[in-house]
Amino acid sequence: MAPMGIRLSPLGMAVFCLLGLGVLYHLYSGFLAGRFAFFMLSEPAAGGPETPHGSAPGGAVDLRELLAVSVLAAVRGGEEVKRVREGNVLNAKAKGKTREGAEEQLTTGDLLSNRKMFYLLKGAFPAVQINSEERVDTADQETVSWDHSIPEDIKQKIQPKEVPAESVTVWIDPLDATQEYTEDLRQYVTTMVCVAVNGKPVIGVIHKPFSSYTAWAMVDGGSNVKARSSYNEKTPRIIVSRSHAGKVEQVARQTFGNKTVIIPAGGAGYKVLALLDVPEKNQEEADVYIHVTYIKKWDICAGNAVLRALGGHMTTLTGEEISYTGSDGNEGGLIASINMNHKALIEKLPDLEKTSHK
């Protein structure tokens, strides 16, 4: 009952109640909406959207799918590399110096290939860490979609295999042998993708843009490439970087004999392919691949994975396995071989390790 002498207006009471309801709505609507959104995200309704490809329940990824996307990424990146080179619009510039003092080149081919490869892989596998040689400019983001198709040769040779997304690191080299690319030495140029699980390389893709040849392999899975079978450990053919040929030649001849053949070449991807049975007329053949200085992991990860899948080896010059986590560089040089006594090779090269940190 209202106090004596005061009459409550029904209209006033209605206005007061509406104002009160408005205050309560303002205070609690955001909270309720947030809780509702959380519920919808945490508990999908039956018949709702399926889990996206490349990301299985529990934060897992299917390595077969990741291999398929890696092959596609290397090819798509290679298309950019080839288009820029054939159009002669490289716009080459120095991006810094190597530890040895040589100028490192950067071209439009590097940048466009990197953009295509990175965003294709990231779009298909958003939860996976991707390391690339070139910087990814978020202001220049590109939408590159994967149609979820898996090539028939991969379907036939590779079984689905899920691993935790947090255990995966992808290494991209959007243009290997940039120096040779600027010199129009096209046979050395590759685009590469590598997948490492817990630091071990398990998927490798090496694509040659100017011949459209692609080699891929998956450890404990399968491959579309084979190792060569003709080797001579007494007088091996050793493939090395063009800039390191003189440094390696003297020690190599002292170690293996005067008949040892030194093959100067560009690009880590090309050098690994030299150890394999590759149907390429411009591909040289070698028995051992040696690198005696610091090298980046995106240069060697794909080749390491391919060799491991085929029973070969790539280690530091002292025989240590190379981990593809942490820093992006490998300090210990490398020696790679297949169908050879890798341990015996390392024991023959004690002097080369001393040069690997220079």
SS3 320: coil
175 annotated as ligand-binding: yes
**Single residue among 189, 224, 259 that ends a domain in this structure:** 224
Inside any domain, residue 31: no
Q: Domains in the chain: how many in total?
A: 2
Which residues does residue 197 pair with via DSSP β-bridges, in sequence order?
168, 200
Determine the pLDDT at residue 12.
57
Rounded (5°) CA angle 323-326-328:
85
Tokens of 218: 């998956």
* CB 269 within 8 Å of CB 176: yes
Are 216 and 313 part of one and the same domain? no
Q: How far is CA 245 from its chain centroid?
A: 28
Rounded (5°) CA angle 58-173-119:
50
Distances (CA, A) of 191 to 81, 100, 208, 283, 303: 9, 24, 7, 15, 11
SS3 105: strand
Determine the pLDDT at residue 246.
81
Determine the pLDDT at residue 49.
35
Rounded (5°) CA angle 18-19-22:
90
Q: Is the pTM above the cut of 0.85?
A: no
Inside any domain, residue 49: no
Are 175 and 150 part of one and the same domain? yes
Are 184 and 234 part of one and the same domain? no
Determine the pLDDT at residue 139.
65
140 annotated as ligand-binding: no
Are 185 and 112 part of one and the same domain? yes
Are 246 and 350 part of one and the same domain? yes
Q: Left if phi > 0, otherwise alpha if psi is -120 to 50, otherwise beta: which for 220?
A: left
Torsions phi, psi for 291 (to 5 deg): -130, 130
Report the C-alpha gap between 8 and 289 in whole angstroms.
Answer: 96
Are 168 and 248 part of one and the same domain? no
- What is the domain extent for residue 272? 227-354
176 annotated as ligand-binding: yes
**Single residue among 175, 191, 224 that ends a domain in this structure:** 224
Active site residues: 110, 178
184 annotated as ligand-binding: no
Determine the pLDDT at residue 254.
76
Are 268 and 147 part of one and the same domain? no
Are 261 and 169 part of one and the same domain? no
What CATH number is associated with residue 290? 3.40.190.80
Inside any domain, residue 47: no
The identity of residue 155, as a single letter, is K
Residues near 321 by beta carbon (within 8 Å), at least 6 away in sequence: 200, 315
pLDDT in tens, 72-97: 999 999 999 999 999 999 999 887 65
| Closest residue by Cα to residue 287 from 348, 329, 330, 331 | 348
Are 74 and 209 part of one and the same domain? yes
Q: Which residues does the chain have with pLDDT short of 70?
A: 1-58, 96-103, 138-139, 230, 232-233, 350-358
* CB 54 within 8 Å of CB 125: yes
Determine the pLDDT at residue 350.
60
Count other Cβ atoms within 10 Å, centred on residue 200: 17
Inside any domain, residue 177: yes
Count other Cβ atoms within 10 Å, centred on residue 281: 7
Are 264 and 296 part of one and the same domain? yes
Distances (CA, A) of 209 to 175, 214, 251, 268: 10, 9, 34, 15
Are 252 and 175 part of one and the same domain? no
